[in-house]
Structure 1
Amino acid sequence: MKLILINKRILYKIIISAFLIILILLVGCDDTLNESNIDNIIIPDKNVSYNEYIQPVLTIKCSTSGCHDDETRAGNYSVTNWANVVTPGIVNPGDVETSILVWRIEGIGVEIMPPIGNLVSKPLNKNQIDGIKTWIEEGAKSN
């Protein structure tokens, strides 16, 4: 009887320990970018990587809102991958002034995107806009 009681206690401690370890791992591994933390990412002022900075911003601010994904394609434009993003006219590598994407995210002569008051995404912050402009100036590479 005493042996069974000890084994139950050991089993109970093992189960609790395993649960705590799993909980710690799950909480510690939450590095998923989302609308609430994308604004904390600082885009450098040179050598801007599309994969590291531009795609996450465009995905969270423009695609996951259900506007510029492959299904919805608002304005017939999707930002789900580099080839879609660099649609001629929308993004003109090396030429920020004629890139419609910049006009839209800055609200130059058109409604700013994402629109102010959008319930899903806020407009891009200055660092995000400057980062996209730098990326375009540097050739809008798929890097």
Structure 2
Amino acid sequence: MKKLIPILLLIFYTGCDDSFTDVDNNDIPDSNVSFSKHIQPVFNIKCVNCHGVGITEAGLDLTTWSGTVADPSIVFPGEPDNSRLVWSIEGNPVVQPMPPLGSSYLPLTQDQRKGVRTWVKEGAKNN
């Protein structure tokens, strides 16, 4: 039994680690960023555990495009510098960083942050 515990712990922690997902390896283009192809997969892996159906921290549901853009102060289409979503993932001190400091969730990669910024800049389209 004692030999089984480390193996079970390894399996458990491996299952919790999102570094094994392909979402961190998918390149997001510099333009024509698609919500369904590029942004939603990132949100599904990195954000919806806290900002999803039934668990909408800060009133934010990132499981759908309509939930993501529902509040113009969160996503201001065409203006990433005025969008709290962009501020939070880029570490703007005006808002709480996402994921929160000390969280077990991994932050978005630089490419993912740039992709979200570009998507908002291009109008936060439902594409």
TM-score of the superposed pair, with normalisation by structure 2: 0.79
1:93 corresponds in structure 2 to 77
Runs of 4+ in 1 over 4 A off after TM superposition: none
Aligned partner letter, 1:72: I
Q: Report the equivalent of 2:28.
A: 43
Equivalent residue, structure 2, for 1:28? none
Give the count of matched residue pairs. 107
Q: What letter corresponds to residue 41 of structure 1 in structure 2? A: N
- Cα offset for 1:101? 0.1
- Indicate if the aligned counterparts of 1:47 and 1:138 stay in contact, CA closer than 8 A: yes
Larger radius of gyration: 1
User: After the TM superposition, which residues 5-84 of structure 1 pair with which residues of structure 2 at under 5 Å, given as runs?
Assistant: 35-36=18-19, 37=21, 38-63=23-48, 66-84=49-67
Contact 1:112 1:123 in 2 (8 A): no
Gaps of 5+ in 1: 1-33
Structure 2 stretches of 5 or more lacking a match?
Answer: 1-16
When normalised by structure 1's length, the TM-score is 0.71
1:112 corresponds to 2:103:
no
Give the percent of matched residue pairs that are identical in Structure 1 and Structure 2.
Answer: 46
TM-fit CA distance, 1:39: 1.1
Cα distance in 2, alignment partners of residues 41 and 114 from structure 1 = 20
